[in-house]
Structure 1
Amino acid sequence: MDVWPDLGSLITGFRTSAAISVAAELGISDELAAGPLSLAELAARVGADEDTLGRLMRVLTELGLYAVSPEGACAATPLGAELRSDVAGSLRPLARTLQDPATWAAWGHLLHSVRTGETAFEALHGVDVWNYRADHPQAGDVFNDNMTALTSRVAAAVARAYDFDGLRSVVDVGGGHGVLLEAVLTRHAHLQGAVFDLPQGIPDGPPASASESVASRWSVVPGSFFESVPPADAYLLKKVLHDWSDEKCVEILSTCRRSLEPGGVVLVVELVLDRPGHELEAALSDLNMLVLPGGRERTVAQFDELFTAAGFEPARVVDTDADVVILEAHAAR
């Protein structure tokens, strides 16, 4: 049986990733938002050579991101429009992360990680990804934009799926720009909420999109979740634990346990391994954790081991209509 076309496409998939990443970095979809442009016009708008842009557009057209009319006018398809900066849940920041040479190179170091168990990024560059982003603000900004955009794709689903009745306060731990907190406070008007993150990772106030009601119940607290978190009835940790080793996860959860109000809960929002319908997505994300921050994706049983070690009961799993679940953990009695 000839498997070359399928296997060959998988082997050379990096070429597709590179082409889409360049389209995102150039802002092609943003320039086409107002309507079709000729190749010459588009090249002038994005600052590219017309001939080589045409070669890139040929690939992106075959991939279905753009279309070219018989007259040569370039237009974005619905798929390509997801690379626009101004759409909710834009995938442009995700594509732009590959423009960072250190990130791109780390994936080429995957073999080292598989052989040794070491994090590829740190083994290659001599510094962990967090310190690298702190020293390279542009890479850090793209990463933060990506986290904001990806969170916006699941925030409403999380806010719908969990019943916050009986709770008074919630802290979005490692919450960045607070997209998830905004969704939760919007849907659950009785809650007070705070975004908690490192000083360089949080905004001065609520998002511009926040309603007056949300803004009045919103606060920002800087700090490190390895040291302390503000007291609350509920802690939200969306895709925080997957960045860290088991030992660091227990530290983070233990910090939350110390400040948790009586009867409160920790709500861990994550992909889980072996969840039906999301197996490949979670498995690839698990490799990404190995390559970049040094964490891992986990099964529910593996999360329960972390909860137990940090003084919690095994979790109740709350499903959502997104690709994540909510793991609800109460303090052990």
Structure 2
Amino acid sequence: MGDTGPAGEPAVDGAHGGDGGGAALIEASLGFVFPAALRAAALARVADHLSEGPRAPAELAAATETDPAALTRVLRLLATRGLFGEDEQGRFRLEATGRALRSDAPGSVRDAILMITDRTFWLPAGRMDHCLTTGGSVFEDIFTQPFFDHFAQDAETAAVFHVGMAAMSGVENGPIARAYDFPKTGTVVDVGGGQGGFLAAVLRAGPGLSGVLYDRAHVLAGQQLGADAALAGRWSTAAGDFFADVPQGDILVLKRILHDWQDDQCVRLLRACRRALAPGGRILVVDAVIAPDNRPHQAKDLDLLMMASLVGRERTHEDFRALLTDAGLRLTRVVRTPTVLSIVEAEAMDDGSGEPRASGR
């Protein structure tokens, strides 16, 4: 901790000397501190209290009911990432990069950050070595139940997840809906559609479409479709278990659903969708598609969260093709979107009996 430069001066540009590779790895190992600080600031609603201009740490701490010295240290780190800035008087301001931390900002991601950094993801990620030795999730070892069973027993945590997913999806729903050429008329069923953000975006983009929001009853209680008067009369809700049955429709959407589940569970779900698909209809799997290269992609980060906390995974183009084939479906195309997600389009294969054709796998 007493590093000095060539002339005995304190080293200020980096925490460690030596070869660049080692220093870079040490820097990378400290990366978890940033989301921890980000979560702390989001919980304290710091961005909300800076919406009207810079404030001194003591004033900001009083408004957020935090310790002034600790708050200063957290904001100092977040300022290195451009979320906040500090003036010559030591007052902190909200920068453009940090505006989405405000709870009242259009496109706010505060709730998404609180979900991603929640203990249900954070604690399993810290024990990823368990996944390497067992090949399975560590979630049940920590919380005594599988991921979604835990949520069913813990309403507060479930709310964090569902509200956070809605916030995470809020910034991507419109661009994804506009990236696909939906038919002019017909019924779109959003399977496991949560609060209905994506279905709302689809209905806004296609004024001749109607929609069904399908999920568990306790999830549908938080639906947001009714908040948009322009969609009145064009949607309904249906509650049930998507592994058993799915409402009939012309377009069936599975957005951020398959990555939660193992392959055999995905095939069961896709077969239920296949049975509910109208003649000539399409199933749209909206998920990340991992490319066969080593370039950075958010899906590779999410894939490890899935491994640690759930039982699913992010998949490649060929992974999706295999799932769809096993479910009696044919992958017709993959539509890229401006987001990290793609739209995997599929149609029914029919052997003449109306039942899915076995793949032989």
Conservation of the 8 A alpha-carbon contact between 2:188 and 2:249: yes
SS at match of 1:235: strand
Where 2:335 maps in the other structure, the secondary structure is strand
1:210 aligns with 2:228: yes
Report what 1:143 is aligned to: 161
| Distance (Å, rounded) in 2 between the aligned partners of 1:121 and 1:134 | 15
Match of 2:178 in 1: 160
Distance 1:187 1:63, change over 3 A: same
Q: Which structure would you say has the larger Rg?
A: 2
- Find out whether 1:10 has 2:33 as its counterpart: no
Q: Corresponding residue for 1:103?
A: 121
With a CA cutoff of 8 Å and minimum separation of 6, indicate the structure with the bigger relative contact order.
1
- Cα deviation for residue 203 of structure 1 reads 3.9
Distance 1:185 1:98, change over 3 A: closer
Q: Deviations over 1:55-114 (max 9, x none)?
A: 212212222211121122211111111211123332212321355334322111100111
SS at 1:87 equivalent: coil
- The Cα shift of 1:167 comes to 4.8
What SS does structure 1 have at the residue aligned with 2:272? helix
Does the 8 Å contact 1:84/1:92 carry over to 2? yes
Q: 1:225 corresponds to which residue?
A: 242
Q: How far apart in 2 are the matches of 1:56 and 1:252?
A: 44
Other structure's SS at 1:216 match: coil
8 Å CA contact 2:35, 2:117 repeated in 1: no
User: Take 1:277 and 1:174, find their aligned partners in 2: how far apart are those partners?
Assistant: 31
Question: SS at the partner of 1:170?
Answer: strand
Normalised TM-score (structure 2) = 0.87
Match of 1:83 in 2: 101
3-state SS, counterpart of residue 237 of structure 1: strand
Q: Relative to structure 1, is the Cα distance of residues 172 and 323 closer, same or farther in structure 2, using a 3 angstrom cutoff?
A: same
8 Å Cα contact 1:307/1:315 also seen in 2: no
Separation in 2, partners of 1:228, 1:192:
20
Paired residue secondary structure (1:148) = helix
3-state DSSP of counterpart to 1:201:
helix
TM-score under structure 1 length normalisation: 0.94
Q: For 1:56, which of 74, 97, 106 is the aligned residue?
A: 74
Letter in 2 for 1:25: L
**What amino acid does structure 1 have at the position aligned with 2:324?**
F
Instruction: Give the distance between the partners of 2:49 and 2:225, measured in 1 at CA.
Output: 25
Please say if residues 109 and 124 of structure 1, whose CA atoms lie closer than 8 Å, have aligned partners that are also in contact: no
| Structure 1 residue runs without a partner (length 5+) | none
Larger deviation, residues 271-280 vs 83-92: 271-280
Q: Percent identity?
A: 36
How far is the alpha carbon of 1:282 from its aligned partner? 1.6
CA 1:240–1:99 in structure 2 vs 1: closer, same or farther (change >3 Å)?
Answer: closer
2:316 maps to amino acid = T
Q: Structure 2 stretches of 5 or more lacking a match?
A: 1-18, 351-361
Determine the C-alpha separation between the residues in 2 that align with 1:275 and 1:2: 28
CA positional deviation for 1:274: 1.1
**How far has the Cα of 1:276 moved from its partner?**
7.3
Letter of the structure 2 residue corresponding to residue 106 of structure 1: P
Q: Which residue of the partner structure matches residue 132 of structure 1? A: 150
CA RMSD of aligned residues (A): 1.9
What do the CA deviations read for 1:211-264 (whole angstroms, capped 9, x no partner)?
42x222011111111121111111111110000000110011011111111111
Quote the Cα distance in structure 1 between the aligned partners of 2:125 and 2:55.
Answer: 35
* Distance in 2 between residues matched to 1:244 and 1:176, nearest whole Å: 16
Q: Any conservation in 1 of the 2:184–2:209 contact (CA below 8 Å)?
A: no
For residue 219 of structure 1, give the secondary structure of its aligned residue in structure 2.
strand
> Who is 1:172 aligned against?
190
After superposition, the Cα gap between the structure-2 partners of 1:57 and 1:206, relative to the gap in structure 1 and judged at 3 Å, is closer
Q: Distance in 1 between matches of 2:293 and 2:51?
A: 36
Q: How many residues are matched? A: 332
SS at match of 1:144: helix
Q: Which residue in the other structure is 2:61 paired with?
A: 43
The verdict on how the C-alpha distance between 1:190 and 1:106 changes in structure 2, with shifts beyond 3 A counting, is same
| Partners of 1:249 and 1:306 within 8 A in 2 | yes
